Amino acid sequence: MSVRHHVSDELLLDYASGSLSEGWGLAVATHLALCPECRVRLGRIEAAAGALMDADDVTDAQAASVDASWAAMQARMAEADAPATAKTRSSTQTMGRPAAILPEPLRSYVGGDVGELKWKALGRGAYHIPIRTNDGETSVRLLRIPAGKPVPEHTHGGRELTLVLAGSFHDETGRFGRGDLEDADSSLEHQPIADEGEDCICLAVTDAPLKFKSRLLRIIQPVLGI
């Protein structure tokens, strides 16, 4: 199944410019490993940025304005040819061997693929693996939600990127399968539910604790570390 929920232009631009902190960058890099369309988009952004740097008609005022630069990049990207269809590997096999569920660079961060990892119980059949980064800004973890089970209803204290690596989930905004990226903020109150048939494994990156609707979960939240 093809990826339907992609990284935003603004986040992809920040990734291309190297301005994302490590946690956000890991989420975007992992999405790119699963999404040929966004890899093409990244190439177009990088090409547009290079063209802007070489252009003679860019004034000092434009160069100093992020908004003006981004508008110019969008114009150049709109003029580019439609990307060619990318050839991708089979989602189930690579040269006769099962394909890894966790792509690089994520696999190196956690030290192996899903079956090799030591998961920590969160309760209600859910598990997680905290992932250490050095940015001091984000909290990064793998989540494994049992098939057919919900995540407790919550909103967000800041931003949350959720990238599906296996299985799928649905919430108030739609359905998310392998490679899909949900970009949520404090305006979204939702209750993701893993779809039947397969546990949902996600990479989740936040910059503030979740805000659970349940009072009990709010009490034990510091122990869970989410």
- pLDDT computed for residue 90 by the predictor: 35
**How far is the C-alpha of 193 from the C-alpha of 172, rounded, in Å?**
10
On whether the CB atoms of residues 160 and 186 are closer than 8 A, the answer is: no
- pLDDT computed for residue 52 by the predictor: 62
Residue pLDDT, tens place only, 64-73? 554 554 455 4
Using 50, 70 and 90 to split pLDDT, how confident is the model at 133?
very high
- pLDDT computed for residue 98 by the predictor: 60
- pLDDT computed for residue 122 by the predictor: 81
Tell me which H or E stretch contains 172.
none
Using 50, 70 and 90 to split pLDDT, how confident is the model at 100?
confident
**Mean per-residue pLDDT over the chain, rounded:** 81
Residue 57 pLDDT greater than 60, yes or no: no
- pLDDT computed for residue 83 by the predictor: 40
Burial 87-110 (b: 16+ CB within 10 A, else e): eeeeeeeeeeeeeeebbeebbebb
- pLDDT computed for residue 85 by the predictor: 34
Report all structural domains of the chain as residue ranges with CATH numbers, in order of start. Answer: 9-79 (1.10.10), 103-224 (2.60.120.10)
- pLDDT computed for residue 33 by the predictor: 96
Q: Which has more confidence, 149 or 219?
A: 149
pTM for the model stands at: 0.77
